[in-house]
Structure 1
Amino acid sequence: MHILFFTDNFPPETNAPASRTFEHAREWVKAGHQVTVITCAPNFPTGKTFDGYKNKLWQEEEIAGIRVVRVWSYMTSNEGFAKRTLDFTSYMATGFVAALFVRRADIVVGTSPQFFTAVAAWGAAALKRRPFVFELRDIWPESIRAVSAMEDSKLLDLLEKLELFLYRRARVVVAVTHAFKRNLIARGIDPDKIAVITNGVDSTRFKPMPKDAALLDQLNLNGKFVAGYIGTHGMAHALDTLVETAHLLNDDPQCKNIRIVMLGDGASRQALIEKADGLHNILFLERVSKEEVPRYWSILDVSIIHLKRNDLFKTVIPSKMFECMGMGTPILHGVEGESAEIIESTGAGQLFEPQNPHDLKNRLKTLHTNPELCAKLSVQGLQSAPQFDRANLAKEMLAILEKHEIGKFH
């Protein structure tokens, strides 16, 4: 089977969509299938092309047996509705054109978070008369409303109609959460065409390892209790909560040994740095390569996962929580809904109220003074990680694609 996959994020980008697509496609290639990915030159989240790449109409490479076709797109940092939409739609246009030159595909997949990627996939599938699969990673444009990136308008209503059109045209919708499936069913989408394949962890990369001594020395963190946030610093993450927590920790003499590490980039990063001015217990680190990320996980005594308090985010399962489980890193989870249920059922971490710095501060203080509790959370996370192994999840999705590929679907 030849799988044609549309995604505007792919390695060397390190965000969740890039990792999921790469790790699935790698497993599909191992299983003997051909995979062609149409994507952009890597630039997320800064909007600047990564070293070694150019923003060209067409460039091609092979990564782990995957054919990767990169097309031109309008690049901007991860902020601003108008510019981001221009980014998305430019990729939609050039990606669709590129698909015309990809021969003999058997099935076409488009992945969100933004659904203009899926528009390109649907158009290519229709033109090639091949099945179209929508991988649903985010309820978009509802997420725009959730982060207040744009006021309610007729444009958002129009985008929602386009969203529903794509769900209805897809042979199958592969959602990453059960909450997404319930959302679609409530809006009239046939439940029989919706499958759920959650996010997971690449157990070959994210596994227990000793703390990286060189990194601890470099960052002057030896002997400190290190809490860390690793990922995009965006509007949805409300990371000012962590800066406010750092202020509270700074004022508590019993918490002088706690440090918060913020690793990543995004629209909110500079504002967060400015808000943390004068604090010595919070450290902002630049984005690192995908290969380097496990080193930074290794130095954490606890990982902080956080999203803005909003009903939409109750449907989201941050993929980094599975990486924490794989590493055996205890989790402080500031997200409500389905992901919180997973944390509670696995025992891999503790919950705190989103956007409540006092609650987060108290949880950090408790873990700092209770190494036995930290060890218990670590063990329970490690025990739970295998059920979210990415290789097994990739096989489940492959079975869905094989069921619907051209020549088998009637």
Structure 2
Amino acid sequence: MHILFLTDNFPPEGNAPATRTYEHAREWVKHGHKVTVITCAPNFPEGKVFEGYKNSFYSRSEMDGINVVRVKTFISSNEGFVLRILDFLSFMGASFLAGLFQRKVDVVVATSPQFFTAVSGWALSVVKRKKFVFELRDIWPASITAVGAMKDSLAIKLLEKLEMFLYHRADKIISVTESFKTELTERGVESSKIDVVLNGVDLTKYQPTKEKAHTLASEYQLEGKFVVGYIGTHGMAHALEHVIEAAEALRSNDRIRFVFAGGGAAKESLISLAREKQLDNVIFIPRQPKENMPAVWSLCDVSLISLRDTPCSGITNLAT
């Protein structure tokens, strides 16, 4: 089977969507399938093209047997609704055009959280007369209003209509959580075409450990400290300013350190907030390559999952 997969996140990006797509595609290849991934130049979350890559119109490469096609897009950091929409729309158009040139495709898969990638996937499935599989990673656009990025408006209502159109046109929906399936079923989507495939972990790379990675612990002066860690995207949805408040409340306890590892739209404001409060117990570690993540995780005595207190966050807290 030849699987055509559309995603705007793919390694060397290290976020959850990129990792999930890569690891699934790698396993499909191991099972004898051909996989072509259409994506863009790696740039998430800072909105800057990674070193060694170019935002070119069309390029091909191979990664662990996966055919990787990268297309040119309008690149923006995760700041501002209009710029992000332009980013999404450019990938929708470019991925559709690139998809037209992929031969002998058996199924088209497109992943969210934003739905314009799914529009491209659906359109390609129509042109190629193949099944369309929609991987649902977030309840979008509800998550936009939940984090305060945009208020209810005509634009949101139009996006909601697009959302329902895609749900009903998909031959199969792959939900990342059981709560997504419940939400869609309650909104009238046929339950029988929704399957749940949870996020997981590659146990060949991650194993329990009783010791912190010595080099990193030494570099950030974490040896002998109790580390409370947040590892992941520093975004609008994560309410990380409250973690800074917790660090302020515990500043007198020199044994405790709060570690933020990763990048995102809210990172600079968090750094400014910690500096303003003169918090010596808060440490920021830059975004790390995928192969360094086991060492980063080893630093944590407690790992935080932080989201804004909204009904939408309650639905999506396991998806990302």
Q: TM-score, normalised by structure 2?
A: 0.97
Indicate the residue corresponding to 2:298 in structure 1: 298
Report the secondary structure of 1:262's partner residue: strand
Letter of the aligned partner of 1:175 in structure 2? S
Report the secondary structure of 1:54's partner residue: coil
Indicate the residue corresponding to 2:49 in structure 1: 49
Q: How many residues align?
A: 317
User: Which residues in structure 2 correspond to 1:213-292 (within 5 Å)?
Assistant: 213-251=214-252, 255-277=253-275, 278-292=278-292
How far does residue 297 in structure 1 lie from its aligned partner after superposition? 0.5
1:49-88: CA deviation from partner (whole Å, max 9, x where unpaired): 0011000011111111100000011001111110000000
Report the secondary structure of 1:276's partner residue: helix
User: Which residues in structure 2 correspond to 1:169-184 (within 5 Å)?
Assistant: 169-184=169-184
> Structure 1: how far apart are the matches of 2:179 and 2:318?
13
> Structure 2: how far apart are the matches of 1:115 and 1:59?
24
Contact 1:143–1:312 under 8 Å retained in 2: yes
How far does residue 302 in structure 1 lie from its aligned partner after superposition? 1.3
> Structure 2: how far apart are the matches of 1:68 and 1:290?
18
User: Which residues in structure 2 correspond to 1:301-340 (within 5 Å)?
Assistant: 301-318=301-318
Which structure has more helix as a fraction of its residues?
1
User: Which residues in structure 2 correspond to 1:1-400 (within 5 Å)?
Assistant: 1-209=1-209, 210-251=211-252, 255-277=253-275, 278-318=278-318
Letter of the aligned partner of 2:62 in structure 1? E
Give the unaligned 5+ runs of structure 1: 321-410
> Structure 2: how far apart are the matches of 1:119 and 1:302?
40
> Structure 2: how far apart are the matches of 1:211 and 1:225?
11
Contact 2:251–2:281 under 8 Å retained in 1: yes
> Structure 2: how far apart are the matches of 1:318 and 1:223?
31
Letter of the aligned partner of 1:47 in structure 2? G
How far does residue 319 in structure 1 lie from its aligned partner after superposition? 6.0
Letter of the aligned partner of 1:260 in structure 2? F
> Structure 2: how far apart are the matches of 1:219 and 1:71?
38
Contact 2:138–2:319 under 8 Å retained in 1: no
> Structure 1: how far apart are the matches of 2:15 and 2:79?
16
Report the secondary structure of 2:304's partner residue: strand
Contact 2:307–2:317 under 8 Å retained in 1: no
How far does residue 206 in structure 1 lie from its aligned partner after superposition? 1.7
Letter of the aligned partner of 1:156 in structure 2? I
Report the secondary structure of 1:291's partner residue: helix
Contact 2:177–2:318 under 8 Å retained in 1: no
1:31-66: CA deviation from partner (whole Å, max 9, x where unpaired): 000000000100001110001100001111111110
How far does residue 132 in structure 1 lie from its aligned partner after superposition? 0.3
> Structure 2: how far apart are the matches of 1:44 and 1:319?
18
> Structure 1: how far apart are the matches of 2:306 and 2:130?
39
How far does residue 318 in structure 1 lie from its aligned partner after superposition? 3.5
1:128-176: CA deviation from partner (whole Å, max 9, x where unpaired): 0000000000011110010010111111101110110001110011101
> Structure 1: how far apart are the matches of 2:290 and 2:217?
19
Contact 1:199–1:317 under 8 Å retained in 2: no
1:190-214: CA deviation from partner (whole Å, max 9, x where unpaired): 1111111111111111212342112
Contact 2:176–2:319 under 8 Å retained in 1: no
Report the secondary structure of 2:67's partner residue: strand
> Structure 2: how far apart are the matches of 1:263 and 1:225?
16
Q: Would the alpha carbon gap of residues 293 and 60 (structure 1) be closer, same or farther in structure 2, given more than 3 Å must change? A: same
Indicate the residue corresponding to 1:403 in structure 2: none
Letter of the aligned partner of 1:259 in structure 2? R
> Structure 1: how far apart are the matches of 2:309 and 2:301?
25
Indicate the residue corresponding to 1:337 in structure 2: none
> Structure 1: how far apart are the matches of 2:61 and 2:291?
19
> Structure 2: how far apart are the matches of 1:286 and 1:319?
23
> Structure 2: how far apart are the matches of 1:269 and 1:318?
22
